[in-house]
Amino acid sequence: MLLLIVSISATAIVGSSQPDSGAGSVELIEYAQRLSELENYDGAGALYNKIALHYRNTSDLANASAYYVLAAESFESADDYESAGASYHLAGDCCAGQKECDTALKYYELARDNYRKNDSGYDDLWIDKKIRECREKSLMSGIVIFGIFIGMLKFSSKAAFGMGFSRLNTREILAVASVYLVVPLLMCAVISVAGDVLYESINALFGLGLAFGVFQLMLAISLLVIGFYTVRKWNRTKKDVSRRTFLLMALPCPVSLATIFLTCAFLMIAGMSALKAGLLVGGVFFSTIIVITTVLRRTRFAKKPSNLGSMMIFFGLLYFLSILLVPAYLPINEMEIAIGDFPVSDMIPGFLFVLVMIAIGFVRGRIITTDRGMGGR
């Protein structure tokens, strides 16, 4: 009688309740454990599947895979091998979602073994496909993380070189570096309460690719112009304007803010807490800025404004080069490559880049020649 009452209660819960809170999940877990003790393994398996689905819907894939495994083990005890195979399959999918490919393979093989108990000729070719996709996603995630890390180093080194070659004191350097430490923490705090708005924001940022390209072009031109201005002012009139022009290098621009936001978002989506993600991203920026600035201060580089101007010109060229090269590699999977047909229009960016380099070299040479001529007089 007790077994009948518990079974009926469990069936009603599986059919009608949705565990939308921690208390509800705990209650279902207790029901499932009680059903296992009473050897109602089919009911326990159904409840464990329900619990796993709740965790999967909340993106808690670790708990989801664990309860799918419990469901599969319960179904195996009830000799319901078809349901056991399905639960192991879902557990493997959760592990694949966490890029745990070896664990996913183990559960996929258990799923295959259970399926074969019902059908000896079961086709398991899907396992190789699933594992291949898991490893490809894991590789792509690693590449994305590496790319994000390189982007972080790019923007932090820009700020570091801007301050390292300017005449700032230690307090001012720490103040600017602290901005890069605080901004990721604030972004992570906002992301943690964003919910579904986070994914909409990420999609919106990816949709602004052209806008970011235009802004990066403006930034590249600004760095080149202000860099030449800083060099010329110092070489011709010995006027130091570095305390104003260094701000273009040191302060975060919209592109660097977008990089910080995406980095924080990816880390938090991967399961890292808001505080840890903020400290990691902010710590990378802060430590990189402090280390590079300290090294520059202790080297033999003369702390002349002209050196700051030269670094601004270098980063301007770097930004300009990235505008030309990066779009050529990002959509490569969508390109139609025709070896026999090489349109002349594809050569225009290369010609433009060469012309810009020649013009910059000419202007730079003229500035140096003029300065030497004035020095001779």
In 3D, which of 41, 93, 105 has the Cα closest to residue 70?
Answer: 41
288-333 residue pLDDT tens: 888 888 888 777 665 677 788 888 888 888 877 776 665 544 443 3
Picking from 13, 294, 7, 30, the residue whose alpha carbon sits closest to that of residue 164 is: 294
Contact in structure between 235 and 138 (CB atoms under 8 Å): no
Region label for 356, one of left (φ > 0), alpha (ψ between -120 and 50) or beta (otherwise):
alpha
pTM above 0.75, yes or no: no
How many Å apart are CA 42 and CA 185, to the nearest integer?
47
| Planar angle of CA 215, 218, 221, nearest 5 degrees | 150
- Quick check: 165 and 300 in contact, CB under 8 A? no
Q: Which two tokens stand for residue 155?
A: 């923007």
Closest CA to 264 of 287, 250, 283, 251: 283
* Cα distances (Å, whole numbers) of residue 196 to 192, 193, 203, 266, 301: 10, 9, 11, 14, 50
CA end-to-end distance (rounded Å), the chain:
112
Alpha carbons 65 and 128: distance in angstroms, whole number: 20
3-state DSSP call for residue 124?
A: coil
Contact 314, 242 (CB under 8 A): no
Nearest by Cα to 227 from 245, 250, 251, 244: 245
pLDDT at 209: 58
**Domains along the chain?**
2-123 (1.25.40), 139-325 (no CATH)
Under 8 Å between Cβ of 231 and 284:
no
> Which residues are CB-neighbours of 141 under 8 A, at least 6 positions away?
99
**Tokens 């600017």 identify what position?**
176
What residue spans of the chain are helical by DSSP H?
Answer: 2-16, 22-37, 41-57, 61-77, 81-97, 101-118, 125-164, 170-192, 196-206, 209-237, 242-245, 247-250, 254-269, 274-298, 305-329, 348-376
39: left (phi over 0), alpha (psi -120 to 50) or beta: left
Each residue's pLDDT expressed in tens, for the chain with a length of 377 residues: 333 333 434 444 444 444 444 445 677 788 888 888 888 888 888 888 888 888 888 878 888 889 999 989 988 888 898 898 889 989 888 888 877 888 888 888 888 888 888 787 788 788 888 888 777 776 766 676 677 777 778 788 888 888 887 777 888 888 888 988 899 899 888 888 776 666 666 666 666 656 666 777 888 888 888 888 888 888 888 887 877 888 888 877 777 787 788 788 877 776 678 888 888 888 888 888 888 888 887 776 656 777 888 888 888 888 777 766 655 444 433 434 333 343 444 444 554 555 566 566 656 665 655 555 555 44
- DSSP three-state, residue 209: helix
Contacting residues for 371 by C-beta, under 8 A, at least 6 apart: 235, 236
